[in-house]
Structure 1
């Protein structure tokens, strides 16, 4: 066996730990079982060794096959000198190598950062810099974007980054290693506990670049097991993975990890379109799928236009990531005979599900109820005073799988968490008499574009750097497909250029794209104004700007 370093004290650097009394409570109640994510998959592979774990295009992997490849990749990483506490940014599309990289890194005690395919060099270099990541794993190309160019940019910007591994045509970088041969050696399990941080998920980024969310083995696996039980997954479950595999929804609600816990089969799709996914649903006998509302609307529209209604084929369709409109929920359930489960959660922790035995109105018009009796939930006013049942207020939460602080972000944590450890989610909600949550909006200045969160301040800062932009304001506008999309109001400095708004809009979009922000952050609509409206406090009045959009019938 290949040896690992044993000094784990540095693993607590930058981490806000759960208070001892809560640790004792969560262990005593059986929420935290002391199992690492690596041991979790080893147990799954032993229990379901001959079951099909993963289907990726023409490739198919049993649990034993996947375990062998994970072991091989862990040995490879160890031989390259990586060890306990080293960080790795994983940015892969929906392919089998994601799971091999993820569990292989965990096997030697590395800490993966779950980057999404839409992230660009601004975000990825930030993740590397925040964690001093030594390794970056990416695809060669995906959806027309060349990640090798991004990797070159990160190598220039990030001192800690030592190596890039590319799945596909590696070019100047290290190629993905062969993992299909049994290994002579296995790595020694790293000296850590299940209370240590396993990996980093990413926040929606309401104040700019996404914050890093430190998820422990114990807290994450509790959420996974409880979710798998609520969702009634089993060995016959066949789950279609359409959303990015690294997304928290995709991983744990109940997601891929919940599916592995139950011994089912995961079918990966890189194409979320109705045409591609309907074919996979019929070919593989898919029983479960999870979508954001925009995709659910797209699939429903495809059926409306004449494609076969595949919704009754599914045992359940989960919809989450953004607020599902009641009208679409009703259409899915009543018109298309879909068994719907609404999911409302966050990568920081708290997850809510409508239950299969909820009455139909709860399923259509609410976002479900909490996983655990020890998910503590408060709905408060602007002064943090609790509100009566049914009133709209700010959602605060703490519990056995909700973090107590972002990684290495003490100043941000002072605002994001209360002194007694409740996380300020930024959601405006009310709770009905049945205990279910109804999401009414966001209190943070953030746009939820089809499940992708856009921090308005981050985009405004980029727009304001353009030499002809006096100032900008990014606001949300309703969209029937995405739920929300973005509109940038621009106060423009005239310099004799062609005043065509179409040309100027194109120029600004290209500017944001070339700056390196994720593509979903590029403004969907741009309005040019001579002056901005202001509040009494001298701030740009975004409410007035949204009213202008409505009055102009742009919505």
Structure 2
């Protein structure tokens, strides 16, 4: 077992702008078993020894799927790591990965980790504004892309990024590389160069140091970078896998973008590979694609955001897909309304598990034995015994049990600061290291959290606070409403009025008067009723499937 610095490495992974855990916390988390084991880049070697011929990855078009065993995955990682080293990439280099769900995402991720380089995980839907910002912020020296994805030519984007950010010296392409180095070609060159020898840096990365940089999932401002260490992220994945009961018999479907924390490590790709399960990378989360994959690969576990869960349940009601193998459907990224949650098991045959977490760290799960009431109406409880949570008022004082307040947290896998964001960190973290999540929650008598919205997602209507999340859930109970978002509208009389923005169900229509009547029947207070109604064809979504209220407000003017 590798054990070095618990307060941050002396190796190149001690990147500037990283806020490590204080030494006393590092010693505690290591002593209690949360931080242990080898760096993430070495783990595929162990998996190859343990699971060798078992299928690790399945990806590609349904007609010609690509399959890699655990032994083949480890060799592919070594080959690509050698090719990247030949290109001049080394420990400490940041590499921006902008790949969809394909084999190269996994092999490149582990190849960089094996070299001690630091992957920066962008999301497929990101475009020039986000990519240029992330490249500059991270100091990336290389940018990995597909040739094309969903009709968009990423090679043209790469030319713009290289011109705008001089530090980006290399573009790595999965597919038709054009003028750039191809990932397959680099792997082939690496295989020849290494001649069967294992690959790695002269000094193994400190597992207490930064392994990768995730992207913040908020909808306000530019994305921030979240530094996750080898040890804390390994715990994130392995403990999640244990809680979900994952074994080598499971087949985990990656329906969401693999670069997002939820399908990557909650338990996701890393958790599934850690127990010898098979990981299936879906090119799209659409029902027509995933239902075929679930039936063909006998998928047992997958993860969705609420908007996709609703889409799957609606489609399954009339398609009647073969989902008999599916035992667990995780839903996270936003609060899942109880009525939709109750439809999942009868429609898809899977147990529903709510997951409330954040790429910054803290994860809350409903447990598999909680029963339908808790699973459908709460967002679970913390993963680790060492997770510390506080629910506080506007002044930072703890609120009474059952009272709504802001969630603060710290623990063995919750970061102590964003990367290169000292000014923001001063307000995002308390002096004693608690992360101020911005989420409004309450704690139930059963010890589970219920998410009531965001601090910035509360509308102050004439002095009354209207929770947008709560009102959205009530709107979704109307049969004519397929999707709903609630935002503030400027109002001279009350300061902020309440605007409901909805997508109607096919062939349905509804008026503001009818919606208000429906909400009154549900017992909502008068101040909670929407003042305005806007019907749209679709709601804008963030790259991880959350309703993008910033973009929605922009569209509404």
TM range (shorter): 0.7 to 0.9
Paired residue for 2:50, among 47, 50, 54?
47
Shift of the alpha carbon at 1:132?
1.2
The aligned counterpart of 1:338 is 350
- Counterpart mapping for 1:315-394 below 5 A: 315-334=327-346, 336-394=348-406
Q: Deviations over 1:57-84 (max 9, x none)?
A: 3211001111111101100111111111
The aligned counterpart of 1:169 is 176
CA distance in 1, matches of 2:144, 2:90: 16
CA distance in 1, matches of 2:220, 2:341: 31
Contact 1:78 1:187 in 2 (8 A): no
Paired residue for 1:427, among 435, 439, 463?
439
Change (3 A) 1:482 1:115: farther
Shift of the alpha carbon at 1:368?
0.9
Question: Does 2:82 align with 1:79?
Answer: no
Change (3 A) 1:188 1:284: closer
The aligned counterpart of 2:248 is 235
CA distance in 2, matches of 1:446, 1:226: 34
Contact 1:37 1:198 in 2 (8 A): yes
Contact 2:147 2:174 in 1 (8 A): yes
- Counterpart mapping for 1:106-125 below 5 A: 106-125=113-132
Change (3 A) 1:49 1:336: closer
The aligned counterpart of 1:127 is 134
CA distance in 2, matches of 1:157, 1:482: 41
CA distance in 1, matches of 2:329, 2:121: 24
Change (3 A) 1:21 1:302: same
CA distance in 2, matches of 1:258, 1:435: 25
* TM-score normalised to structure 1 length: 0.81
Contact 2:57 2:280 in 1 (8 A): yes
Contact 1:125 1:157 in 2 (8 A): yes
Question: Does 2:294 align with 1:281?
Answer: yes
Q: Deviations over 1:367-422 (max 9, x none)?
A: 11111111001111111111122111100000000000000101000110001000
SS at match of 1:153: helix
CA distance in 1, matches of 2:374, 2:13: 46
The aligned counterpart of 2:308 is 295
Contact 2:357 2:363 in 1 (8 A): yes
Identify unmatched segments of 5+ residues in structure 1: 1-5, 448-474, 490-531
The aligned counterpart of 1:90 is 97
CA distance in 1, matches of 2:487, 2:311: 22
Question: Does 2:108 align with 1:105?
Answer: no
Change (3 A) 1:378 1:535: farther
Contact 2:18 2:419 in 1 (8 A): yes
Q: Deviations over 1:488-539 (max 9, x none)?
A: 97xxxxxxxxxxxxxxxxxxxxxxxxxxxxxxxxxxxxxxxxxx53599xxx
CA distance in 2, matches of 1:418, 1:411: 13
Question: Does 2:147 align with 1:144?
Answer: no
Identify unmatched segments of 5+ residues in structure 2: 1-8, 460-467, 502-511, 513-528, 536-557
Question: Does 2:491 align with 1:533?
Answer: yes
Shift of the alpha carbon at 1:45?
1.8
What is the aligned-residue RMSD (CA, Å)?
2.5
* TM-score normalised to structure 2 length: 0.81
Contact 2:248 2:278 in 1 (8 A): yes
Shift of the alpha carbon at 1:177?
3.0
SS at match of 1:550: coil
CA distance in 1, matches of 2:325, 2:156: 42
SS at match of 2:184: coil
Paired residue for 1:444, among 456, 460, 463?
456
Alignment length (residue pairs): 476
Change (3 A) 1:275 1:335: closer
CA distance in 1, matches of 2:493, 2:427: 23
Shift of the alpha carbon at 1:206?
4.7
Q: Deviations over 1:201-241 (max 9, x none)?
A: 01123541110000000111111111110011111101111
Question: Does 2:531 align with 1:551?
Answer: yes
